[in-house]
Amino acid sequence: MSFFVQELIQKSDISDILDQVLHGKRLALNDCIRLLRSDNPYALGIIGNILREKIFGKVATFVNNIILNYTNVCITYCKFCAFYRAPGDSEGYTLSVDDVVKRVAKARDQFGISQVLMQGGHNPDLRIEYYEEAFKTIKEKCPDVAIHGLSASEIDTISKVERSNTKEVLSRLKEAGLDTLPGAGAEILDDDVKSRISPLKIKSDEWLNIMKQAHELGIKSSATMMYGTGEDYEQRGRHLVKIAELQEKTGGFMSFIPWSFEPNNTKMQAEGMIKYPSGGLELLKMIAISRIVFSGLIDHLQSSWLTNGIGMAQLALTYGADDFGGTLIGEEVVSATGARSTELTSDKIITAIKQIGFQAHERNNFYDTIRVH
């Protein structure tokens, strides 16, 4: 570490915490909150980058994938969501199993994808057989494509439709071909925040419990945080600590993805709850803090280009992120907010990674390198 960097860290208001992290110490809730309150993103970024470089050197990964939003029909009416349509709405849609499989096969042939990220609304008309048939047929026709599908709250919805329980649902879906669970639906794991922005969605403990059940069944997952919804730093801190605590028990989180709330076209914006997104500096701070808090616990941290753009994602790689995320071809949820381009080709991601002097490795669903570019 250069003299200048040491000076910057020592003079920062969080030097004691950064010192602890560099010596491998796990952080307590108060430390997380102090990091979140700090107005020194540069010191945070330097430490985030040092921790990333220790594990990954100059390698950044990405996955060639599609997002398949199989239905926009939803009965949960989250105030931050511009994607859903209520049952009976003329703009509502649900893809048939045949269409789901055709889209995956076409993307495999056209783009060589290795992962389908399948997510949709909470559609009460879809029985578990819909998902089982879709997963089984994808596995028959495209065995080389991993299914990273269904958030914890979709699993909860299926269990309610089936009058079953989430463990049984997870077990049946695993049997049908589900590989891993995305971390969506966590938002901020604090029930006051949830009551304000998504009152009908599963609460924090339910999200954590479904993730725990999945991990115990051998289904790995990612974890996410959607910040910038008006939560305070204590609530964000508690979110990070809850994820860290579960990871210490199960080791089932493969990655963490902090992404910023995009308010356009949402009820939260219409009601004046949030006027604009939290922006680039906050993203860099969240990336660095996530790397620091999950040091030694969760290795992979995504750069979140989807809501912040390619330039910010490049910077995020220098603040602690190691993974660019996916090409996300076909994304419809964030694009419903009118956010910037919500899909990329692998060529553009490779160029973005190389532009900042990193090596671009294409990975599979499980973060194993499958191609060096």
Question: Which residues sit at the interface with ligand SF4, rule CB under 6 A?
Answer: 74, 76-78, 81, 83-84, 121-122, 153, 198, 201
C-beta of 88: minimal distance to ligand SF4 in Å?
15
Minimum CB separation of residue 153 from ligand SF4 in Å reads: 6
Nearer to ligand SF4 by C-beta: 232 or 332? 332
Residue 28 vs 200, nearer CB to ligand SF4: 200
Within 8 A by CB and 6+ apart from 368, the residues are none
Would you say 307 or 314 has its CB closer to ligand SF4? 307
In the complex, minimum distance from the CB of residue 362 to ligand SF4, in angstroms, rounded to a whole number = 29
Contacts of 196 (CB under 8 A, 6+ apart): 79, 229, 230, 273
CB of 283 to ligand SF4, least distance (A): 20
Query: Minimal distance in Å, beta carbon 56 to ligand SF4?
Result: 31
CB closer to ligand SF4, 139 vs 201? 201
Least CB distance to ligand SF4 at residue 184 (A)? 8
At residue 66, φ and ψ (nearest 5 deg) are -120, 155
Residue nearer to ligand SF4 on the CB measure, 78 or 193: 78
Cβ nearer to ligand SF4, comparing 16 with 125:
125
- CB 226 to ligand SF4: min, Å: 9
Nearer to ligand SF4, 42 or 77 (CB): 77
Pick 189 or 284: Cβ nearer ligand SF4? 189
Closest contact distance (angstroms) between CB of 356 and ligand SF4 is 32
